[in-house]
Structure 1
Amino acid sequence: MKKSIAVVIFLLLSLASSAQAPFSGQAEISVITCGPYQGEVYSAFGHSAIRVRDPSTGEDLAFNYGTFTFDPAFYINFPRGDLFYKLGVYPYDRFRDAYIAQNRYVHEQVLDLTDEQTQKVRTYLHRNALPENATYRYDYFYNNCATKVRDVFVMLFGDSIRFDGSYIKTDYTIRELTDSYLAEQPWGDLGIDICLGLPMDKKLAPFEYMFLPDYIESGFDHAKLNGRRIVKRKNIVYKSSREPASFSLLHPWIVFNLFLFGAILLCYYDWKKKKLTKWFDAVLFFVVGLAGVLLVLLWTATDHQAAAKNLNLLWAVPFHVVAAVLLFRPRFYTFVAGYFMITGILSWLTLLLWFFLPQDLNVFLILFNIVLGIRGYTISRLLVPGKLVRS
Structure 2
Amino acid sequence: MLLLIVLAIVSSFNIYALPRVSLIVASPIPEEPYTLYGHAGLRILDAQSGRDEVYNWGVFDFDKPGFAWNFMMGYTDYQIGKLPSDFYITDYLKRGSNLDEIVLNLNADEVSRLDSLLSINMLPQNRVYRYNFFYNNCATKPLEILQKAMKAKLVFPRIKRITYRDLINEAEYSMPWLIFGTDLAVGSPADRPISAEQAMFFPKMLSTYLPKSKIVYDNGYAKPFVLSRQTLYSPIGEEAQEQLHANRMNTPVVLLFAVALLGMLIVWNVRSVGEQSFWHKFARLYSIVVMVVAGLTGCVLFFLAFMSEHPCMWPNANLLIYHPFYLLIALPLLLWKKRGSLIDRCFHFIIFVALIAYFAVSIVLLQHISIANFGSVFAIASVALYRIRISKYKDDKTGEKTF
TM-score after normalising by structure 1: 0.86
Q: Deviations over 1:116-135 (max 9, x none)?
A: 32222223223212221111
The equivalent of 1:273 in structure 2 is 276
Q: Deviations over 1:159-213 (max 9, x none)?
A: x2422313x2x12222122222222222111111111222212221232112111
Q: How much has 1:327 moved relative to structure 2?
A: 1.2
Q: Which stretch of structure 1 is more off in the superposition, 226-235 or 259-268? A: 259-268
Asked if the contact 2:301/2:323 (under 8 Å) is kept, the reply is no
After superposition, the Cα gap between the structure-2 partners of 1:352 and 1:94, relative to the gap in structure 1 and judged at 3 Å, is same
The equivalent of 1:138 in structure 2 is 131
Q: Aligned AA for 1:52?
A: I
- Of 29, 54, 57, the residue aligned with 1:65 is 57
Q: How much has 1:65 moved relative to structure 2?
A: 0.9
After superposition, the Cα gap between the structure-2 partners of 1:261 and 1:302, relative to the gap in structure 1 and judged at 3 Å, is same
Q: Aligned AA for 2:93?
A: I
For 1:68 and 1:109, locate their aligned partners in 2 and report how far apart those are by CA, in whole Å: 25
Q: How much has 1:304 moved relative to structure 2?
A: 1.9
1:238 aligned onto 2:202: no
The equivalent of 1:10 in structure 2 is none
For 1:88 and 1:266, locate their aligned partners in 2 and report how far apart those are by CA, in whole Å: 58
Q: Aligned AA for 1:201?
A: D
1:253 aligned onto 2:250: no
Q: How much has 1:249 moved relative to structure 2?
A: 5.7
Percent identity for Structure 1 against Structure 2? 24
The equivalent of 1:314 in structure 2 is 320
Q: Which stretch of structure 1 is more off in the superposition, 171-180 or 256-265? A: 256-265
Report the 3-state secondary structure (helix = DSSP H, G, I; strand = E; otherwise coil) of the residue aligned with 1:366: helix
For 1:319 and 1:253, locate their aligned partners in 2 and report how far apart those are by CA, in whole Å: 24
Q: How much has 1:221 moved relative to structure 2?
A: 0.7
Q: Aligned AA for 1:390?
A: T
Report the 3-state secondary structure (helix = DSSP H, G, I; strand = E; otherwise coil) of the residue aligned with 1:136: strand
The equivalent of 2:263 in structure 1 is 263
Q: Which stretch of structure 1 is more off in the superposition, 273-282 or 207-216? A: 273-282
- Of 170, 173, 193, the residue aligned with 2:183 is 193
- 5+ long unaligned stretches in structure 2: 1-13
TM-score after normalising by structure 2: 0.83
After superposition, the Cα gap between the structure-2 partners of 1:161 and 1:250, relative to the gap in structure 1 and judged at 3 Å, is closer
1:36 aligned onto 2:40: no
1:339 aligned onto 2:347: yes
Q: How much has 1:67 moved relative to structure 2?
A: 1.4
Please report the RMSD computed on the Cα atoms of aligned residues, expressed in angstroms. 2.5
Asked if the contact 2:174/2:248 (under 8 Å) is kept, the reply is no
1:293 aligned onto 2:299: yes
Q: Which stretch of structure 1 is more off in the superposition, 95-104 or 346-355? A: 346-355
Asked if the contact 1:109/1:235 (under 8 Å) is kept, the reply is yes
After superposition, the Cα gap between the structure-2 partners of 1:36 and 1:319, relative to the gap in structure 1 and judged at 3 Å, is same
Q: How much has 1:91 moved relative to structure 2?
A: 1.4
The equivalent of 1:184 in structure 2 is 174
1:360 aligned onto 2:368: yes
How many residues are treated as equivalent by the alignment?
A: 367
1:390 aligned onto 2:402: yes
For 2:249 and 2:373, locate their aligned partners in 1 and report how far apart those are by CA, in whole Å: 18
- Of 309, 325, 331, the residue aligned with 1:324 is 331
Q: How much has 1:349 moved relative to structure 2?
A: 4.3
For 2:266 and 2:74, locate their aligned partners in 1 and report how far apart those are by CA, in whole Å: 40
- Of 88, 93, 102, the residue aligned with 2:86 is 93
For 2:111 and 2:362, locate their aligned partners in 1 and report how far apart those are by CA, in whole Å: 52
Report the 3-state secondary structure (helix = DSSP H, G, I; strand = E; otherwise coil) of the residue aligned with 1:85: strand
Asked if the contact 2:199/2:205 (under 8 Å) is kept, the reply is yes
Q: How much has 1:237 moved relative to structure 2?
A: 1.9
For 1:357 and 1:193, locate their aligned partners in 2 and report how far apart those are by CA, in whole Å: 14
The equivalent of 2:149 in structure 1 is 156
The equivalent of 1:3 in structure 2 is none
Asked if the contact 1:348/1:370 (under 8 Å) is kept, the reply is no
1:215 aligned onto 2:205: yes
Q: How much has 1:267 moved relative to structure 2?
A: 3.2
Asked if the contact 1:23/1:119 (under 8 Å) is kept, the reply is no
Q: Deviations over 1:221-270 (max 9, x none)?
A: 12223412122222212263242544556722222232223323333443
Q: Aligned AA for 1:42?
A: Y
After superposition, the Cα gap between the structure-2 partners of 1:47 and 1:388, relative to the gap in structure 1 and judged at 3 Å, is farther
